[in-house]
């Protein structure tokens, strides 16, 4: 085919009206979606993907609690970690029978 024939075909195709969809197209699409998703069990990757936001939120909350506990302990209880551990070790030694 040469360029002239291809151009004529494209012009004729543009002039045609598009075909009408089937009358029950929406019902067929929804039926296919339901039948496809209802019969499958979620895979391990899908389970982890659904749990990932919750795990990330839990990890962030745990990190914030640890930072808050460190801040509170360093400002209100002991000046540093080593003195607190020394005091804990001394109490443990004296608490043993």
| pLDDT of res. 64 | 96
Percent pLDDT > 70 in the chain is: 85
| pLDDT of res. 7 | 92
Contact 84, 78 (CB under 8 A): yes
Contact 80, 74 (CB under 8 A): yes
**pTM for this one?**
0.40
What distance separates the 2 farthest-apart alpha carbons in the chain? 104
Contact 22, 28 (CB under 8 A): yes
């Amino acid at each position: 085919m040469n360029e002239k024939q291809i151009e004529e075909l494209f012009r004729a195709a543009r002039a045609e009206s598009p075909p009408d969809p089937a009358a029950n197209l929406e019902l067929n699409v929804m039926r296919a979606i339901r039948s496809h998703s209802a019969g499958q069990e979620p895979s391990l990757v899908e389970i982890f993907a659904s749990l990932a936001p919750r795990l990330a939120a839990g990890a962030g909350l745990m990190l914030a609690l640890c930072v808050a506990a460190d801040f509170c302990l360093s400002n209100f209880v002991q000046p540093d970690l080593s003195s607190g551990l020394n005091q804990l070790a001394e109490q443990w030694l004296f608490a043993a029978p």
